[in-house]
Structure 1
Amino acid sequence: MSDPKNLFAALFEPKRIALIGASADPAKTTSRPQRFLRKHGFTGEILPVNPSRSEILGEMAFKDLASIPGEIDHAYILLNGAAAVAALADCGKRGVKVASILAGGFADAGGAGASLQDDLARIVAETGIRLVGPNSIGTVSTQPPMVLTANAAFAIDRLRTGRWAVVSQSGSLIGALLSRADARGIGFSRLISVGNEVDLAVGEVADLMVDDPKTDAILLFMETLRDGDRLARAARRAHAAGKPVIAYKLGRSEIGQELAKSHTGAIAGSDATFDAFCRRHGIARVSMFESLIDVPALLVDRPPARGTRVAVATTTGGGAAMVVDNMAMAGLDIADPPRALVEWLKPLGIAAGEGKLIDLTLAGAKPEIVAGTIERLLADDGNDAVIFVVGSSAQFNPELAVEPLLRFARTAKPFAVSLTPSAEKSLALLTAAGVPAFRHPESCSEAMALCLLRPAPQPLPVLAEPSRASLDALEAGRVNGFDERRAADLFGALGVPMARSLAIPDAKRVVAAVAEIGAPVVLKILSADIAHKTEAGGVALGLMDGPAAAVAAREIERRVKAHSPGAKLDGFLIQKMERGLAEVILGFRRDPLVGPTITVGLGGVLAEIYKDASTRIAPVDEAEAREMIDEVKGLATIRGYRNLPRGDVAALARTIAAFSTLAHKAFADVSEAEINPLLVKGDGEGVVAVDGLVVLHS
C-alpha cells in the first residue's frame, strides 16, 4: 500500500480489525488487544480469529482468516515464530492492508529467528502488505479511539487525548511514557511500536504524522536508525509544517561500536554521527527520557527564537542555581536583572541586584510579588526567555508561588517553571493551564536550550561532479589496492594539498630518491595491507641524508615482516619532512546508520585517546567546516589563543570541504578515508597532508 492516506487510515483509523490468535482468557496477554479496544471505545468491527472457538469475549470468532467476509483494514497477529509467518502469508493473500506482529524471537533472537524474519520480508515484497514489527506491542489512536495493543499500561481507566504522537522502537517504553505523561495530565494523539522494522520503520511512520491534523509534535524513542533517508525527509517536512521532531536515542548501537580500520570510527562513534544527523535535519535530540514529554511544550507553536539570554527568578537560590548551571553548560546566557525590577523590589525588602539570579527568597513567595516579577521580566527587552524556579512552597502551598503563574500561559516570549520539590499537584496545575513545567532542573534547562538554540534543517549541499583525475585515482586503487601513494593521488585530485613524495619499488633506490626529494625526509613502507604503518614499525622520521635513509629502509623491512608476515610489500615512500603548528585528523566514513560523515579532530598518535573531534553529515561547505574547527578544543591554539601564532584556518576549512566530497555517489566504493596527520601551517601558509588511508567496501 503506497498511498500515505490509505496507509495512515489502516494503521491508525481502521474500521475492521482482525485479531489472529485472540484468546478468551483475560489472564493471557493475547486477550488484551480485544479487551483494550472495547474498553477505550473502539466503534469498528473486531474480528477474533481462533480455530477452536466460535465466540471470544462477546465477539463472534472465526476459525481462520478466509472465513471473514469483506475487507480487513488491520490484522494484529498474536502468534509466535513460524505460525506468525504463516499468518502474515495468509494476510497477504487475503488482501489485508496492514498487519502487526506482537511476537519477538526473530532477528532479535539469533540465526534461526533471523531466517524467520527473512521470510517476513519476502512475504511483504511478494504481496505488498504493509507490516508493523515483528516485536510490535501495538498501535494506538486517541482520536478516534483505537487501542490495538498488548501493552499492560493501557489497562488505564481513561485514555487522555492529546496532540503529540509517539513513534517508538521499544514497545514497553511506550507504556512508561504513557504512565509518566498521564500523571502529568498529558495525552497523546497516536502511539506506535515499530519493533524490528522489517517494513514500516520510524522514518516512514513519522512522515505520516506530518500530515496528521491531530498531531502537533512527533516524539521518537530510538535504539538505532534503519531508514535515515525517510526520517530526514520527515524531519524536514515537519519543520516546514511547524511540527517539532524530538528524539531520545539510547547509547551506541552495536553497529556503531564496531571499530573500522580507520581511527575515525573510534573517535566519532554512532552517537556523534546521530548527533550530526539530527543537526543536519533539524531534529531536537534530548538526553533525558522524561524530556520527551517535557520539551514539546516549549517548542510547539513557538516562533523562531530571538536570542539566547534567559532571565531566572526564584524563591530558592539552590534550586535556581542548578537550572542556571545546566543552561550555561548548554550555551545559554543568563540575563542581568532589569534595573526597573530591582527598584520595584527594594521597598518590598528584596535585594535582587547583586548577581544574575533574581532571588526573591522566602519573603518573596507571595502571589503579588511573584506575578509582578514575571510581568516585568516578560516585558523587559534585556532577555529573550524567562524561567521561574519555585521552592518548597510548591509542594504544600501552591497558592503562594505557583497559582500566580497560571495566567502566564502561552506568552509571546518563552516562559517555563521549574519545581524544586516533588510537587505533583503544582505540576498538574501548571500543565493543565498550558504553562511549561518541569520536575527536573536538567530537563528544564535542556528544553529551554532546545527552544532557543534548535537550528532549522540545514540546506543540503550540492556536490559538483568529480574530476576525471579523482575518478582515475579511485580506479587505480580499486585495481591495485590502496596503499598510501594511491590514497595521496586520490586526495590530491580532490583538492587536498599533499606533501611532496616519491614511491620506489625497493631499498636500492632510496639514496637517489632522497637526493631528488631533498632532506630531511620521512621514509614509509608501502603496503595496501597495512592500515597503520607506525604500529607495524613501518615509519622513520627526520632522515638527514640518503645513507641514513638506506639503513632505515632495511630496519623498516625487518620490523614490518616480523609484525605483519602476510602483508604484501610494494616498496617505500620517500616524503619531504613537513612541520606545522598543529596536527589534525581528517576522517571520512560511510556510517552504517546515517550515511557519509566527516570528522575533524586533534590528530597524531593520540587522536583516539583524546577523542577531541567534531562530526557532521558529509558533504560540508567551508562555513560548516569552520564551525567544526571551532568545536575542537585542541585547535584553539591555531585559532588565535592568547599570543600563540595563528594557523591557516581558512586553508584547513577549504581542505575539510574538499575532502568531504567523497560523499558523492561516484565514490560509493569508499567506506572510509583518513588523513592523519594533516599539518596546519602559519596563517597564509596553507596545510599539508602527510599520511593517508583509503578503505574500500569489502
Structure 2
Amino acid sequence: MRELLAPRSIALIGASGDPARLTARAQVYLRKHGYDGALHPVNPRSPEVLGERAYATVEDIPGEIDFAYILLNTEHVEGQIAAVAAKGAKVACILADGFAEAGPEGLARQQRCVEAAKAAGLRLLGPNSMGLINIPARIAVSVNAALEAPSLPAGRIALVSQSGSMLGAIMSRGAARGMGFSHLIATGNEADLSAGEIAAMLVDDPGVDAVMLFLEAIRQPQHYAHAAWKAHRAGKPLIAYKLGRSPYGAELATSHTGALAGSDAAAEAFFRAHGILRATMLESFLELPALALGRRPAVRPHRAVSVLTTTGGGGAMVVDALGVAGIEARVPDATASAALEAVNMHGHGRLLDMTLAGTKPDRIEAAIRALDKAGDTDAIIPVIGSSAQFRPADAVAGILAAAPHVRPVAAFLVPQADASLKLLAEAGIPAFRTPESLADAMRAFLDWRAPLAAPHVALPDIALPEAPDEADARDLFAALGLRTVYSRELEADHRFPVALKILSPDIAHKTELGGVSLNIPDAAALREAAAAMQASVAKAAPAARLNGFLIQPMAKGLAEVILGFRRDPEIGPVVLLGAGGVLAELHRDVALRLAPLHEAEAREMIAEVRALRVIEGWRGLPRGDVEGLVHAIVAVSRLAALPEIREAEINPLMIHQEGLTVADAWVVRA
C-alpha cells in the first residue's frame, strides 16, 4: 500500500529529456507539484535528464526503489519487469498500450508481464495507465495533462478510474465546484491491480473519507466486494459511475436469460448487493460524495422527499424528475404540517411554494426544520430561483443554517449561480445544476444498502450429462425442489390433453423450429404429431441431435414468468425473474439479483416485476402461490454452487393458486 500510494523512491524508465514529449511529463509534474523523494530517470542516451542525474539502466540506480513508472514502447516493457523487481520495487506502472485491448497477441504479451511480475513479487498498475496522484503527499507520478495546472485542490475524496484521461476531467470539474481530492489513480487494463483492490487500500487511508470509481468494466469482482465491506465498516461510501448502460452487446448467451441479463443489469445488481452507490450521470457522480458523506444507508427508505421552492416552475421540474426516478415528492404529513403552521406556513401540496415569502434566510431555515418533522420522507430538497444568481449570500443562508441539523438536504439552483453553488459546496451540501442529476443522485442515495452477505447453500447433488436436453434440465430443477410430471414415452398412460416437445441439446428455442405441439387430445393424435415433428425438426435443423420426445399434461396458470440463472462474465452468478413466455425478450419486465440470494431478496424481485401484480390479488383476481415462487427463486439461485453450470432457465414457469408448473426448461454447461 505505501509503495503504491506514497512511494519515496521512484524510477522513471524511458524518461525523455525533451519536456515537450509525453514521456517527460511524469518527471516534470513530480517536481512541479513538490515531490521531494528520490527520483531516478532512466535513459541510456544521456547522463542527465531535465537537470537531474539519469541512469543508463535500472541496475545502475543506487539503492532500492519503491515504484517504477515504465514509459517505454510496448515491445520493451516485458524486459524491464525483472529488473525493477530486483531493485526492490513493489509496484510497476506501465504507460504503454497495445496489450490485452489489442487482440490475442497483445493479451499474450500482457499475460507474460503478469507472470513475470508474480514470479518476482511485483505488483503491476496498468498497462495503459496514466499513473497516480497523491495530492496531500505532493506525488504526481502521471502523464495526465491536467497536471499543467499551477496547483491541485486537495481534499479527502479519492478517485480510482480505469480511464486515465478521466482523472483530469473529474479533477477539473471537481475543482470548479470547490471539490478537492486526496488521490487520483488510473488502473488502465488492470492486468494485476484492480480498481476494487486499490479502493480497499484507500479505505484504510485515514486521509480518505470516500472513494469514487469511474469504471468501464468490473474486473475481479471479489475485490469490490471486499472493499465495500471495509468501506461500510469504516463509514466511507463507495460511489461508482460505470459505462455500458446501452443494450448493445448485452445479448451474451443463447437463452432468454442471457439476452435479458446483460452486463449492465448484472452490474446494477452487483452494486446494490454490495452497498456501492451507482450514479448514471457525471453531474450526480460528482455530487454524491457530499450527499453520502457521514451517513449510513437507510434501512427502510420511504423513497419520498419534501420539496420547498421559491419558484413554481423550478420546483415542478424537480418533482417531475424525481417521479421519473421513482421518488415521490410527498405532501407534508400531520406532524410536519403542524410545524409549518406554527411558523405561519401552509403545506397542502407536493410543493411547499415559498415564492411570495422569497428567500429570506430565516423563512427558508424555518421551512426546512419544519419539513424535517415529517415521518415519511428521506430528504429535503430546497429549490432556489433567481436570487441564487443575484443575491447568493441571502439565497442559500437558510439552507446553510438548517442543513447540519436535519435529514439529508440536496439543493437545486434554477439559474446559473456559481457563487451560491460555491457557498453550498464549501459547506458540504450537494447542489445541482439540473433536476435530472438531482433525481439521479437521490435515486442512488435511496438505493444504497448495507452490503449483503451471500447465504450459505448446500451443494445440490446433481449429475448432468455433457450435452443436456430439456429432460435433463427438468431433472436438474427437480433436484432443486421444482418437480413437474413429464414422460419420455409416447405410449405411456398420459393425462390428456398434453404438450409434445422435441428433445435436443442443440435447440434452445423449439417453437421456432416446429418442435412444440400443444393441446394434443388423445394417443392417436400424439403419435401423429410426433411423426410430423420429427420430420419437421430434422429438416429445419439437420445438424441437431434429436433425443426423442417429452410429453407433459397441459396446464394453465394465473401468470407465467421466466426464472433463470447465468454466470455473468463480469460479476459472476445472477438470478433473473421476469414476465415469461415467448414474449419475454419483448416485455423486458425483469428483476435481477446476485446468486445465491435470501428470501427477502426474492420477495423484492417479485415486487419489481409489474406483471406479477396479478398474483397478489390485484383488483380482486385470485392470489397465486407467491410463497412457492419465493422458494423457487431461492432454489434456482443455488445453482451458483455448481460451477459446471453456465446458465439455466425455466420459461415459462406457471404460477397457480397452489403450486407451480415447469412448462419449459433449459440448461447449458460451462
Shorter-chain TM band: over 0.9
CA deviation after TM superposition for structure 1 residue 127, in Å: 1.4
Are the counterparts in 2 of residues 323 and 442 from structure 1 also a CA contact under 8 Å? yes
Distance change in 2, residues 1:352/1:53 (3 Å) = farther
**Structure 2 residue aligned with 1:156:** 149
Are the counterparts in 2 of residues 323 and 441 from structure 1 also a CA contact under 8 Å? yes
Equivalent AA in structure 1 for residue 506 of structure 2: D
Which residue of the other structure, out of 415, 418, 426, is the alignment partner of 2:420? Answer: 426
* Distance (Å, rounded) in 2 between the aligned partners of 1:170 and 1:108: 13
Aligned pairs (5 A) from 1:574-589: 574-589=551-566
Distance change in 2, residues 1:250/1:28 (3 Å) = same
Matched, 1:676 2:651: yes
* Distance (Å, rounded) in 2 between the aligned partners of 1:405 and 1:412: 10
Measured on the aligned residues, the alpha-carbon RMSD in Å equals: 2.0
* Distance (Å, rounded) in 2 between the aligned partners of 1:381 and 1:574: 56
The aligned length equals 665
Aligned pairs (5 A) from 1:204-283: 204-252=197-245, 257-283=250-276
Matched, 1:373 2:373: no
Are the counterparts in 2 of residues 586 and 676 from structure 1 also a CA contact under 8 Å? yes
**Structure 1 residue aligned with 2:632:** 655
Matched, 1:317 2:312: yes
**Structure 2 residue aligned with 1:137:** 130
Are the counterparts in 1 of residues 339 and 373 from structure 2 also a CA contact under 8 Å? no
Equivalent AA in structure 1 for residue 199 of structure 2: A
- SS of the residue 2:512 aligns to: coil
Aligned pairs (5 A) from 1:543-582: 543-582=520-559
Are the counterparts in 2 of residues 108 and 114 from structure 1 also a CA contact under 8 Å? yes
- SS of the residue 1:121 aligns to: helix
- SS of the residue 2:505 aligns to: coil
Aligned pairs (5 A) from 1:189-208: 189-208=182-201
Matched, 1:693 2:666: yes
**Structure 2 residue aligned with 1:615:** 592
Which residue of the other structure, out of 12, 22, 27, is the alignment partner of 2:15? Answer: 22
- SS of the residue 2:462 aligns to: helix
- SS of the residue 1:678 aligns to: strand
CA deviation after TM superposition for structure 1 residue 453, in Å: 4.2
CA deviation after TM superposition for structure 1 residue 122, in Å: 2.1
Equivalent AA in structure 2 for residue 172 of structure 1: S
CA deviation after TM superposition for structure 1 residue 42, in Å: 1.1
**Structure 1 residue aligned with 2:82:** 89
Which shows bigger deviation, 143-152 or 50-59? Answer: 50-59
Are the counterparts in 2 of residues 263 and 607 from structure 1 also a CA contact under 8 Å? yes
- SS of the residue 1:275 aligns to: helix
- SS of the residue 1:646 aligns to: coil
CA deviation after TM superposition for structure 1 residue 690, in Å: 1.8
Distance change in 2, residues 1:489/1:383 (3 Å) = closer
Aligned pairs (5 A) from 1:43-58: 43-58=36-51
Which residue of the other structure, out of 529, 550, 575, is the alignment partner of 2:506? Answer: 529
Aligned pairs (5 A) from 1:48-127: 48-127=41-120
**Structure 2 residue aligned with 1:334:** 329
Aligned pairs (5 A) from 1:324-403: 324-337=319-332, 338-340=336-338, 342-343=340-341, 352-361=346-355, 363-378=357-372, 383-403=377-397
- SS of the residue 1:464 aligns to: coil
- SS of the residue 2:89 aligns to: coil
* Distance (Å, rounded) in 2 between the aligned partners of 1:447 and 1:199: 32
Distance change in 2, residues 1:530/1:335 (3 Å) = closer
Distance change in 2, residues 1:384/1:679 (3 Å) = closer
CA deviation after TM superposition for structure 1 residue 471, in Å: 2.1
- SS of the residue 1:415 aligns to: coil
- SS of the residue 1:534 aligns to: helix
Equivalent AA in structure 1 for residue 479 of structure 2: A
Aligned pairs (5 A) from 1:353-502: 353-361=347-355, 363-378=357-372, 383-466=377-460, 470-472=461-463, 474=464, 477-478=465-466, 481-498=467-484, 500-502=485-487
* Distance (Å, rounded) in 2 between the aligned partners of 1:246 and 1:192: 15
Distance change in 2, residues 1:35/1:411 (3 Å) = farther
**Structure 2 residue aligned with 1:4:** none
Which shows bigger deviation, 252-261 or 297-306? Answer: 252-261
Distance change in 2, residues 1:643/1:377 (3 Å) = closer
Identity of aligned residues (%): 50
Unmatched 5+ stretches in structure 1: 1-7, 505-509
Which of structure 1's runs of 4+ aligned residues deviate more than 6 A? Answer: 253-256
Distance change in 2, residues 1:224/1:519 (3 Å) = same
Which shows bigger deviation, 318-327 or 541-550? Answer: 318-327
- SS of the residue 2:566 aligns to: strand
* Distance (Å, rounded) in 1 between the aligned partners of 2:645 and 2:58: 49
- SS of the residue 1:213 aligns to: coil
Equivalent AA in structure 2 for residue 503 of structure 1: R
* Distance (Å, rounded) in 2 between the aligned partners of 1:117 and 1:286: 31
Which shows bigger deviation, 399-408 or 265-274? Answer: 399-408
Are the counterparts in 2 of residues 20 and 76 from structure 1 also a CA contact under 8 Å? yes
* Distance (Å, rounded) in 1 between the aligned partners of 2:502 and 2:282: 50
* Distance (Å, rounded) in 2 between the aligned partners of 1:367 and 1:630: 43
Distance change in 2, residues 1:464/1:220 (3 Å) = same
Which residue of the other structure, out of 151, 157, 174, is the alignment partner of 1:181? Answer: 174
* Distance (Å, rounded) in 2 between the aligned partners of 1:173 and 1:328: 31
* Distance (Å, rounded) in 1 between the aligned partners of 2:67 and 2:507: 55
Which residue of the other structure, out of 613, 619, 633, is the alignment partner of 2:610? Answer: 633
Equivalent AA in structure 1 for residue 508 of structure 2: A
Are the counterparts in 2 of residues 501 and 517 from structure 1 also a CA contact under 8 Å? no
CA deviation after TM superposition for structure 1 residue 307, in Å: 4.6
Are the counterparts in 2 of residues 279 and 455 from structure 1 also a CA contact under 8 Å? yes
Unmatched 5+ stretches in structure 2: none
Distance change in 2, residues 1:385/1:568 (3 Å) = closer
Equivalent AA in structure 2 for residue 531 of structure 1: A
Distance change in 2, residues 1:386/1:406 (3 Å) = same
Equivalent AA in structure 1 for residue 424 of structure 2: L
Are the counterparts in 2 of residues 487 and 693 from structure 1 also a CA contact under 8 Å? yes
Are the counterparts in 2 of residues 496 and 689 from structure 1 also a CA contact under 8 Å? yes
Are the counterparts in 2 of residues 151 and 175 from structure 1 also a CA contact under 8 Å? yes
Distance change in 2, residues 1:460/1:575 (3 Å) = same
Distance change in 2, residues 1:307/1:197 (3 Å) = closer
Distance change in 2, residues 1:493/1:197 (3 Å) = same
Distance change in 2, residues 1:594/1:29 (3 Å) = same
Equivalent AA in structure 2 for residue 429 of structure 1: L
Distance change in 2, residues 1:111/1:486 (3 Å) = closer
Are the counterparts in 1 of residues 82 and 116 from structure 2 also a CA contact under 8 Å? yes
Aligned pairs (5 A) from 1:584-599: 584-599=561-576
* Distance (Å, rounded) in 2 between the aligned partners of 1:335 and 1:235: 32
CA deviation after TM superposition for structure 1 residue 255, in Å: 11
Distance change in 2, residues 1:21/1:255 (3 Å) = farther
- SS of the residue 1:103 aligns to: coil
Q: TM-score with structure 2 length normalisation?
A: 0.95
Are the counterparts in 2 of residues 598 and 617 from structure 1 also a CA contact under 8 Å? yes
TM-superposition CA deviations, 1:637-662 (whole Å, max 9, x none) = 11211122221111111111112111
* Distance (Å, rounded) in 1 between the aligned partners of 2:39 and 2:415: 46
CA deviation after TM superposition for structure 1 residue 400, in Å: 3.2
TM-superposition CA deviations, 1:245-285 (whole Å, max 9, x none) = 11110015999635212110111111111111111111111
* Distance (Å, rounded) in 1 between the aligned partners of 2:296 and 2:106: 48
